[in-house]
Amino acid sequence: MSDLEAHRQEVRAWLEENCPPEMRQPVRDEADVCWGGREVKFKNEAQRQWLERCAAKGYTVPDWPKEYGGAGMSPAEAKVWREELARINARPPLSSFGIWMLGPALLKFGTEEQKRHYLNQIARGEIRWCQGYSEPGSGSDLVSLQTFGEDKGDHWVVNGQKIWTSYADKADWIFCLVRTDKANKYQGISFLLFDMKSPGVSTKPIKLISGNSPFCETFFDNVEVPKDQIVGELNRGWDVAKYLLGHEREMISGAGGGDRTSAIGAAMKRLAGELDPILRAELALFDVDALAYSAMGEKFLDEVKVGKGHPAQPNMMKYAGTELNKRRHELVMAAGGSAALEWDSEASDGGSKARNWLRTKANSIEGGTSEVMLNVVAKRILELPGVS
Ligand SMILES: Cc1cc2nc3c(=O)[nH]c(=O)nc-3n(C[C@H](O)[C@H](O)[C@H](O)COP(=O)(O)OP(=O)(O)OC[C@H]3O[C@@H](n4cnc5c(N)ncnc54)[C@H](O)[C@@H]3O)c2cc1C
């Protein structure tokens, strides 16, 4: 038996014993997602057990080094772990901006002390993070951000406003882009970490078209941030920010698996006889594109793992994955007919189809818009002239 096969058997046996049956069901609503954090409220005992058991083995972040809370798996072993989770339809034990975004940036840019401190907390789901990038005048043109950190010797005093900060009202800490030099656009930004309970931090929720309110305006009024809470060098936070955005785009693209971009034909099979032939043809076409996307994702991830990834690949995946997810939900709505538009009824599970469909409209905006992704693909992959 190969080492990888032995690893698969070990993982399979562990999952059999440790993944509670309730955690082998599709995620139906927000309460099914475990975000961790200081004020975590588990939906049930199974959700708590699943997180604790995985965290104890380093399985919330299987490919991070053991000293930072991971399981030290190689890329191939981590792939086997994901495949075995998918085989039993297991939910992720922990969903976290710390895992998807901040963690990779800390692994690359953090000091040894920061890695040991923050990464272990992230792996155990103890701290919930939010992302303070966008500002009212700075979204696609992020580098124009104005939130300012004034140097006060052993700390900065931060003033300004962020917007669209996902879960800012529920997060414990923020990773935040702050201007620390007004004279230099790109080399005048620093990447700071601070507690959302710091005096001077406040949030105001904003409602989405889906009726939910997952993000906020975030205000900083003379917030004191100690100097050791900077990641990377002073005024070189843009390098950290860009690196993190690559991971964010990869995560939003769904390239690592999950049902965002998976085929839907099988799920629609029981309706197939009732569906209009044109819709059935569209479903089939979608499934072909979804399979092609998933193969492209596997290829890109493998290339990244062996150091051959093109730096603009996450932009391409983000564009393709989010447009695919929007198409997926359009088809679900079309197949569901007028009943799918129900908003509040019990029969419609609180309007889950319609709300999920409306939520996908934001997929091609969050983490960088589709137009901006296409600009990057045109410039950096296709090398077309005249693209700014
Ligand atoms: C659900 C959701 C969650 C989010 N969560 C967070 C978060 O947690 N933290 C955070 O910091 N931000 C977050 N954002 C903000 C997100 O990153 C920005 O919305 C995004 O970068 C676009 O910026 P903007 O909204 O300012 O739009 P703008 O940049 O003003 O763009 C407006 C329109 O102009 C187009 N456009 C802009 N520039 C160009 C160009 N050069 N070429 C062609 N077209 C262009 C855009 O494509 C878009 O259609 C979130 C957004 C959403 C929708």
**Secondary structure of 3-25 as H, E, C letters:** HHHHHHHHHHHHHHHHCCHHHHC
Mean pLDDT of all residues in 168-181: 98
**8 Å CB contact between 377 and 320:** no
155-166 vs 148-151, strand pairing mode:
antiparallel
Q: Quick one: pLDDT at residue 306? A: 84
Strands (E), the chain: 129-132, 148-151, 155-166, 173-179, 189-195, 201-206, 215-226, 230-231
* Count of helices and strands (H, E) across the chain: 13, 8
Write down the pLDDT at residue 387: 65
Specify the pLDDT at position 31: 85
Q: Pairing relation of β-strands 173-179 and 201-206? A: unpaired
The reported pLDDT for the residue numbered 212 is 78
Which ligand 1 atom lies nearest to the CA of residue 162?
11
Q: How far is the CA of 47 from the centre of ligand 1 (A)?
A: 33
Q: Which of 224, 234, 142 is nearest to 188 (CA)?
A: 234
Residues with CB under 6 A from ligand 1: 130-134, 139-140, 164-166, 215, 362, 365-369, 371-372, 375
Q: What is the pLDDT of residues 126-168, one digit of tens each?
A: 999 999 999 999 999 999 999 999 999 999 999 999 999 999 9
- pLDDT tier, 225 (very low <50, low <70, confident <90, very high otherwise): very high
Residue 219 pLDDT greater than 90, yes or no: yes
Q: Which amino acid is at 77?
A: E
Q: Which residue has 């708590």 as its token pair? A: 48
Residue from 129, 142, 164 whose mutation best tests the ligand 1 pocket (most atoms within 8 A of CB)? 164
Q: Is the pLDDT of residue 48 over 70?
A: yes
Q: Please tell me the least confidently modeled range out of 51-60, 82-91, 148-157.
A: 82-91
User: Which of 140, 196, 244, 361 to mutate for ligand 1's pocket (most ligand atoms within 8 Å of CB)?
Assistant: 140
Type of residue found at 128:
R
- Looking at residue 257, its pLDDT comes to 59
The pLDDT score that the predictor gives to residue 346 is 82
C-beta separation of 5 from 22 below 8 A: no
Measured CA distances, 278 to 20, 108, 325, 354 (Å): 41, 49, 20, 22
Give the nearest ligand 1 atom to 141 CA.
Answer: 29
Dist. CA 364 → ligand 1 center (Å): 9
Provide the pairing of β-strand 215-226 with 173-179. Answer: unpaired
Quote the distance between the C-alpha of residue 294 and its chain's center.
Answer: 17
pLDDT of residue 301: 80
Computed over every residue of the chain, the mean pLDDT equals 92
CB 157 within 8 A of CB 167: no
Q: Which two tokens stand for residue 150?
A: 């004034």
Which residue's CA lies nearest to atom 43 of ligand 1?
A: 371
Average pLDDT over residues 73-97: 93
Atom of ligand 1 nearest to the CA of 388: 41
Is the model more confident about 75 or about 373?
Answer: 373
**Could you tell me which of 302, 324, 310 has the C-alpha nearest to residue 381?**
310
pLDDT over 70 (residue 196): yes
Residue of 323, 369, 372, 387 best suited for mutating to test ligand 1, as the one with most atoms within 8 Å of CB: 369
- Predicted confidence at residue 319, as pLDDT, reads 95
Highest mean predicted confidence (pLDDT) among 115-124, 200-209, 211-220, 273-282? 115-124
Q: From ligand 1's centre to the CA of 140, what distance in Å?
A: 5
Asked if pLDDT for residue 298 goes beyond 90, the answer is no
Expressed in angstroms and rounded, the spacing between residue 166 Cα and the centre of ligand 1 is 13
Q: How many angstroms is it from 139 CA to the middle of ligand 1?
A: 5
pLDDT of residue 272: 65
Residue located nearest, by CA, to atom 13 of ligand 1: 164
Longest CA–CA separation in the chain, Å: 71
In this predicted structure, what is the pLDDT of residue 258?
58
Share of the chain above pLDDT 70, in %: 96
Backbone angles phi, psi at 82, to 5 degrees: -65, -40
pLDDT at 69: 98
Contact between residue 65 and residue 71 where contact means Cβ atoms under 8 Å apart? no
Task: Kindly report the backbone phi and psi dihedral angles of residue 22, in degrees, each rounded to the nearest multiple of 5, phi listed first.
Answer: -65, -25
Rounded average pLDDT over 81-101: 95
14, pLDDT greater than 70: yes
* Per-residue model confidence as pLDDT tens digits over 61-73: 999 999 999 999 9
The per-residue pLDDT for range 232-288, each reduced to its tens digit, is: 999 999 999 999 999 999 888 876 655 656 677 766 766 667 788 899 899 999 999
Radius of gyration of the chain from its Cα atoms, rounded to whole angstroms: 22
Mean pLDDT on 188-213 = 93
Between the CA of 372 and the centroid of ligand 1 the distance, in Å, is 9
Element (H, E) at 194: strand 189-195
365 CA distance to ligand 1 centroid (A)?
Answer: 5
Specify the pairing of strand 129-132 against strand 189-195. Answer: unpaired
Question: Among candidates 288, 289, 378, 287, which has minimal Cα distance to 335?
Answer: 287
Residue with CA at minimum distance from ligand 1 atom 16: 366
Catalytic position from the list 248, 274, 330, 371? 248
User: What does the alpha-carbon distance between residue 359 and residue 144 come to, in Å, rounded to a whole number?
Assistant: 28
Question: Could you give the count of Cα atoms lying within 13 Å of 11 in the half-sphere of its Cβ?
Answer: 24
Compute the CA torsion angle 159, 161, 162, 163 (nearest 10 deg): 170
Testing ligand 1's pocket by substitution, the residue of 170, 366, 380 carrying the most ligand atoms inside 8 A of its CB is 366
User: Closest Cα to residue 173, out of 211, 218, 206?
Assistant: 218
Is-catalytic flag, 248?
A: yes
